[in-house]
Amino acid sequence: MPEGTATTYAIVIVNYGDPSLIAENIGTDIDRDGDALVVVVDNFSTERARLRTRALCRDRGWLFASSSNDGFGAGVNRGVATARSRGAEVFITLNPDAVASADVLRALARHVIEEPRALVSPFMDTSNGRPHFRGTMINCRTGQMRRGWSENDDDPLWKNWLSGACLAFSGEAFDLLQGFSEDYFLYWEDVDISRRAVERGLRLALRPDLLVTHDEGGTQGTGNSRTKSPTYYYYNIRNRMLFGRQQLQGWNWARWVLASPRQSALIWMRGGRRQALTHPRGLAAAVRGLFAGAVQLTHRPGQRRTAPRRTPAEGRS
C-alpha cells in the first residue's frame, strides 16, 4: 500500500468440499498482514465439510460465509458483500488451489487502489515451475482460446481476458460491472467479466512482475494430470455457448454456433485422445455440455442474470 495507508483488502476464496487446500495454501504471512481480510465462501457440499470449513475460519481468524452450491460467480458476489460489511473496498479472488504470498497480494491491492478502473491478474506458474497463465485470448468469432496478450487489447479478432484464479478489482469496478455473472456456475465467468469490463471502459492489466502458483484441477481431484474432470468439460462447453449468446447477434452468432462442434472437440482434447478409453465419463460430459449449450439457441441475445444485492449471512466464526 502507499505509505501511511491502511486500506483493508479482502481475499475472497470460494470453497467447495474439504477445506484442506485452503488451510495449506493460505500462508501465515497473510494471517500476519493487518490489512488482509480473508473471506471463505463455502458452497455447500456436505455438512461435515461445512463444519470443517467453519472451524478452519474460526481457528485462523477468517470470515466465513455460507452459501448454497450456486457457483463461483455467486460465491464471489457473496464474498464481496461479506467483506464490504467489514469496510473493504479492494478485493482479490483466489482459488483454493492457488498459492500467493502476502507481498504479491498487497501489490495487487495497491495496483487497484491507484487504478480503480482496472482489473488486474498476476502471472501464474504450476508448482513444478511450468508457465500456467501469461495472459489468455479468446477468438471473438469462434470462442477458441489461446495463450497470449495484446498490450492494447486492440487485435480485431483475438481479445484479452484475465484469470479469475487470482483477480484484483476495486469496489468501484465491481459496482460498475454489477459483479460477476451468476449464469455460468463454473468457468467462463472470468472471460465474461473481462470482456464486459473492456466494453465499459475499464482496463485489463497483467502483472508479469508478480507470480502466483496455481495447480489447476486441485479442487476437483485431477491435480497436475492432463486429463480434466467431467465438470470441466461440461461447463466449459456449455458456457462457451452461453457467452456467445450474451455477446453476439445475427451472423456473428450463427458463425459461433456453427463452430460449436469443432470448438467442443478442442475443449475435450485438452485432456488428450487417450482419455476416451481411460476416462470415458469426460467424453460423456462433453457431449452433455454441447447439448446443454444448444439450449441457448432458444434464448434472446444479451440476457444476463445480474448479481443480487446480498446481505452477508455470516460474520467471523
DSSP string, 4-57: T----EEEEEEEES--HHHHHHS-HHHHH-TTEEEEEEEE-S-HHHHHHHHHHH
**Neighbour tally for 304: CB within 10 Å:** 13
Mean pLDDT score, 15-34 = 96
Q: Which domains does the chain have, with CATH numbers?
A: 9-220 (3.90.550.10), 230-298 (no CATH)
Q: What integer pLDDT is reported at residue 222 of this predicted model?
A: 46
Give the pLDDT band (50/70/90) at residue 274: confident
Q: Yes or no: say if 146 and 137 are a contact pair by the CB < 8 Å rule.
A: yes
Mean pLDDT score, 277-300 = 93
- Chain centre to alpha carbon of residue 210: 18
**What are the start-end ranges of the H helices in the chain?**
20-25, 28-32, 47-60, 72-84, 102-114, 171-176, 189-199, 230-247, 250-258, 260-268, 275-278, 280-294
Flag whether pLDDT at 306 surpasses 90.
Answer: no
Flag whether pLDDT at 233 surpasses 50.
Answer: yes
Give the pLDDT band (50/70/90) at residue 310: very low
Q: What integer pLDDT is reported at residue 299 of this predicted model?
A: 87
First to last CA, the chain: 28
| Three-point CA angle 262, 263, 269, nearest 5° | 90
Closest CA to 180 of 202, 166, 157, 197: 197
Q: What integer pLDDT is reported at residue 262 of this predicted model?
A: 97
**Neighbour tally for 75: CB within 10 Å:** 28
pTM of the model: 0.91
